[in-house]
Amino acid sequence: MSDAWCGDCKRPTEVVFDHSAGDTVCSECGLVLESHSIDETSEWRTFANESGDNDPVRVGGPSNPLLTEGGLSTVITKPNGTTGDFLTSSLGRWQGRGSDPDRGLIAAFKTIAIMSDRLGLVATIKDRANEIFKRVEDQKSSRGRNQDALLAACLYIACRQEDKPRTVKEICSIANGATKKEIGRAKEYIVKQLGLENGQSVEIGTIHAADFMRRFCSNVGMNHQAVKAAQEAVKKSEEFDIRRSPISIAAAVIYIITQLSDDKKPLRDISLATGVAEGTIRNSFKDIYPHISKIIPSWYAKEEDLKNLSSP
């Protein structure tokens, strides 16, 4: 109940909402103050009474501009035991035999959504990956290629373009069996096809070591001070000519920061958390070490601590 002004009672009175009729009624005199109003509350009625499906949703999914007619179509469901089973089942069979131009796209979009959920990616990255795959698919040149690798590569490129890069190894871990080599080839193929479509080279974004730091530090289990020091160090490292991949530099910096703290982490743990091989971390450490006094924040480690730091 709530209060409203009643014209008959000439004062504010409590009103009752009749949701079935859409009427607002004065609780004292019975005057209908408003009629045929729209009930904006959620409707939890389900029409799947005999199918055992408890899903209360009455409508389909949202329209998808990447699908034919927005993906809004009629689907004839299986018979549920009521009259007209023969007609319903016949129509269902004929609909199943019909060609659906979006069937492959829908399956691909579902796979991309599953991979995105596994990596905890936001919806904008998933949508970008869907768009990239649709553009490649429209060129009708991907037939015979590894579908899982193509979808994984679309997701990899989408992450790069949205400035939320993931390593190829991370993408590979959710790519339904596609290898790093296959994903790499698929990425090059997609970039080439999109370039042919636009008539110019396609930018997929530049990755920096700082892009991976917070996630890698979280995987290692570093405290706030260590994370802050690692972020400052990896940003400072960009000022020097360290010819290593950003991911390798990030892993090496994390190793250095943890060795300078009370909670030292073994090299194997750093390797597992970052996906960088132990040998690569060692070599990156050697390349960083000549600049270590200028890279590691002075508030985090003293000069003598840096001198006593041993190679992994």
Q: At what angle do helices 267-274 and 210-220 cross, to 10 degrees?
A: 120
R_g over Cα of the chain: 30
Q: Could you tell me which residue, 187 or 63, shows the higher pLDDT?
A: 187
pLDDT band, residue 144 (cuts 50/70/90): confident
Assign 3-state DSSP to the chain and report helix, strand, coil percentages, each to 5.
50, 5, 40
Give the per-residue pLDDT at 230.
Answer: 94
Q: Could you tell me which residue, 252 or 100, shows the higher pLDDT?
A: 252
What's the pTM value of the predicted model, to 2 decimals?
0.70
SS3 33: strand
Give the per-residue pLDDT at 296.
Answer: 94
Q: Is the pLDDT of residue 49 over 60?
A: no
CA distance 277 to 138: 38
Q: Could you tell me which residue, 48 or 267, shows the higher pLDDT?
A: 267
Output the CA torsion 213→219→225→230 (10° steps): -30
SS3 308: coil
